[in-house]
Structure 1
Amino acid sequence: MKIVHLTPYYVPAYAFGGVVSAVEGMAHAQCARGHEVTVLTTDSFDQQQRYDGPYDEIRDGVHVLRARQLSARLRGRFNLGTPLGLPGLARRALKGADVLHVHEFRTVENTRVLPVAVQKGVSVVMSPHGTLGYETGRGTAKSLWDDLVSRNMMHQIDRVIALTEQEAHETRALWLQYGLVPDVSIVPNGVDASLFAHLPDGAAFRERYRLGDGPVVLFMGRLHARKGIAELVEAFRLVAQPDARLVIAGPDEGMLTRITPHLDDRMIVTGYLDAEARLNALAAADLFVLPATGEGLSMAVLEAMAAALPVLLSPGCNLPEAQTTGAGLITEPTPQALAAALSGLLGDGERLRGMGQAARQLVQSRYTWEAVAIQLEQVYRAVIGLD
């Protein structure tokens, strides 16, 4: 099968969040299963810089085609793509393709490429990756975009691939606003568990950031309001455990100036961590926390669980099985609820270790990329009429 993925950002643009790792994992797993895979993307690298490598390359078996952007800063500041020549690249990439798999919903890239796919008769599936809801910020802008752009684009999408039942519900509700009923399948994100099977010694990370020997709570993700970072900082101030530390790792998306006045000497902000540093952070941590108000299915959470870290999550993370399997706890993302959960967990090292083992087992049983690739194949085949 010839598969083309369309994503606003791709490896090594990890600063743009979990969608980059998700598309990377899908593409590699599909290549391993014998498919011909192309990723159509832009030269986004981080909030200010462009990718400085080749724009047409074979990367780990995946053909990657990048469109140059008019402005890298517009992407970094407003997540607004300005790709040049993307329709031409799309016509090249989609020649003979069986399916176009679009990642994220409201993007300029989609408006450039979906008409080409329709013209060529290529089936289109779309993974929102948690970008549908209005409550996650910029609600008015999203609503206006939907009225002007999305309502037409919905007719070009043959199937939506939701990460969770909650995202499937959001999809149906949004399509219904425009009198449409979408076809929806549910396929989760995955993780390469082998990357987290043998972690480095966490002592070096603890020493670098002067974390001491007490329990370390790790938040790793973009510093965005919907990630619940402000509530987590307030909650940690309520935790009466002097040797506990909160490590806040990830690129800033407007929240650093808001939380800085509330940080105390038990809280450490590292900024963006590359892949090696992220492994070191996971190795040093005792508990992973994500109190997000809205997620698809967080890659950071799956990676933490693959590293045998217990997780403290909000209902908005859409992973109730973390609690039902003993891999973590689900609590409301309020400072008081988070503080109570943290206080109960940090004083019980044996419980944390047991939860961590359950977390790793959960990932290995349900969230490997091989399993995800098989499920995606089934969706693709149904959409293009092979089943």
Structure 2
Amino acid sequence: MHIANQLSSQLNQLRQQHRYRTLTQRQSSEVQFGSNDYLGLSSHPRVKAAYAEGIHQYGTSSGASPLVSGYQAPHAYLREQLAQWLEREDALLFSSGFAANQCAMHVLAPMYQRVVLDKLSHASLIDGVRHFDHWKRFHHNDVAHAKQLLLSKEANLLVTESVFSMDGDRAPLTELAQLQADLWIDDAHGIGVCGDDGRSVAGQLSAAQVPLLTITFGKGLGVMGAAIVGSSLIIDYLTNHAREFIYSTAMPAAQALAVSTAIDVVANTEGTTLRQRLNDNIGYFRECCRLHGLPIGDSHHAIQTLIVGEDAKAMAWGQALKTHGIQCGVIRPPTVPRGSSRLRMTIAATHSRAQIDHLVAALVASRDSLDRAEITS
């Protein structure tokens, strides 16, 4: 290859910076604290049964793009279900949250005179708008700065997330909804787990306040895929202009059936029980960390962080936890700012108190071991 030397050089630079990434196979022997399956629905008997029945009835693939012949009855039902559940007019299905955000942003951003995003908005949103010249980023969760960046008497699009993925903190949605802009909220980490009924943003703000939602299916709902949810006009426009939607094979009908079943679970009494169990586990974990002097962040969401600082130190923490049979996220730049490498742990409704105790004990042991190593080095 003509670029082999250039590729090797840049990969070696990442290794020297402790930012080189490799795929690591999940081990069944490890206790999983790195998954976004917050309610444990990926292993729920009803969700798995729906997936299996969908494969039996529709096969493993939709076989074509939605506008050719890939659009089947489970897709149509899921769209109607989402619209009714979230009190919006329509929804459009995508293979992933990244595809939904990047595609919809690329299509809709040119319709506005100014696009303003939270500084910590997901990479998929940034990638959708980065090639345009009329977008700005406001300081994280800073409503006053967001307002300052909007154009007077022009069409503005304001974009943020309900829950931010690297800290678990939440956006000031009610205040942002009062600004003179169309508000688009990525609800990836909120849907299913936030709000009394799991509807997250849709249960808090109306369609008039939030015209556009991104809903992902691979976190609180435990399956895979995503949807853009909004007015019939927006969905009609995306159907005709969104290239990732038009030219991609539709998600399998079996997958759509599994998502619909997960929504049924989330929206009913079992969902209430699972959310309460999740919140109890989060509270228990945080109290245990407080008692042991572990400096975790302020989040009361399933996403819990321990900021370490240096990239190499974060990697050492992650490896130390693995020796205790614990798997969690080790997050480094460019995903987070330089000097804020961290452990990203996710608490689930399915975790037992014994497993949480084991995580806390492993964190304490890893901290003490690394502190001793620093003293003797």
TM-score normalised by L of structure 2: 0.32
TM-score by length of 1: 0.31
Bigger CA radius of gyration: 2
- More relative contact order, 1 or 2 (CA 8 Å, 6+ apart): 2
